[in-house]
């Protein structure tokens, strides 16, 4: 009988704690998605300061063109330069997002994204720029921010070997 009561008590404790754990995870997932959406909104308003604000103070970025920036101020400078040139007037669209929580305070997000409205140096319209973004996000003081972001272009596969 004691083992039955112990098993029942354990089951009730676990059942009672499960909604709290699921709620915390759901809240964090919603917060991470909101964080991603705030970056996209800032991009589409061409607000480099608001885009950079989505990074941790010591965060870093490697964009799909190989440019790097470390720290929020450098990231803002890079984004500001891009939005004054090649990214001026563009729109950012996230096609799909996945989130994996590595711990309660670390998440990895994967975005399949597109940038529309890019132009080359002559002003000629460029095709939609499809790319992928992997971001490591950290939660500090209840707030999620990007710690390390790596964006890369979707390239066509290489041709098959010659026969």
E strand segments, 4-142: 55-62, 68-70, 91-103, 106-116, 129-140
What CA–CA distance (Å, rounded) separates 90 from 102? 33
Looking at every residue in the chain, the average pLDDT score rounds to: 87
CATH number for the domain spanning 20: value is: 3.10.450.50
**Higher-confidence position of 137 and 14:** 137
Q: Are strands 106-116 and 68-70 parallel, antiparallel or unpaired?
A: unpaired
pLDDT of 13 over the 70 cut: no
pLDDT of 11 over the 60 cut: no
pLDDT tens by residue, 23-47:
456 799 999 999 999 999 999 999 9
Report the number of distinct structural domains present in the chain: 1
Assess if residue 55 is contained within a domain: yes
Structural domain span for residue 82: 2-153
pLDDT of 2 over the 60 cut: no
Instruction: Give the per-residue pLDDT at 71.
Output: 98
Assess if residue 163 is contained within a domain: no
pLDDT tens by residue, 109-160:
999 999 999 998 898 999 999 999 999 999 999 999 999 999 999 888 888 8
Assess if residue 35 is contained within a domain: yes
Assess if residue 160 is contained within a domain: no
Instruction: Give the per-residue pLDDT at 19.
Output: 45
Among 17-26, 43-52, 56-65, 127-136, the range scoring the smallest mean pLDDT is: 17-26
Assess if residue 78 is contained within a domain: yes
What integer is the mean pLDDT of 61-88? 96
pLDDT of 106 over the 80 cut: yes
Assess if residue 60 is contained within a domain: yes
Assess if residue 107 is contained within a domain: yes
What integer is the mean pLDDT of 6-27? 46
What CA–CA distance (Å, rounded) separates 73 from 108? 23
Q: Is the dihedral of CA 90, 91, 92, 96 positive or negative?
A: negative
Assess if residue 162 is contained within a domain: no
pLDDT of 79 over the 60 cut: yes
Instruction: Give the per-residue pLDDT at 25.
Output: 64
């Amino acid at each position: 009988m004691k083992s039955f009561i112990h098993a029942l008590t354990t089951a009730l404790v676990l059942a009672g704690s499960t909604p709290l754990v699921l709620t915390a995870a759901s809240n964090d997932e919603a917060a991470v998605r909101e964080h991603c959406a705030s970056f996209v909104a800032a991009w589409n308003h061409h607000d480099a300061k608001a885009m950079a604000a989505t990074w941790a103070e010591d965060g870093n970025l490697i964009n799909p063109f190989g440019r790097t920036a470390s720290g929020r101020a450098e990231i803002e400078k890079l984004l500001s330069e891009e939005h004054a040139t090649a990214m001026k007037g563009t729109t950012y669209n996230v096609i799909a997002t996945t989130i994996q929580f590595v711990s309660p305070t670390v998440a990895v997000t994967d975005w399949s994204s597109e940038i529309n409205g890019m132009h080359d140096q002559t002003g000629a319209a460029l095709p939609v720029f499809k790319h992928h973004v992997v971001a490591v996000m950290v939660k500090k003081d209840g707030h999620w921010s990007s710690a390390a972001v790596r964006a890369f272009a979707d390239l066509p596969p290489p041709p098959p070997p010659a026969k």
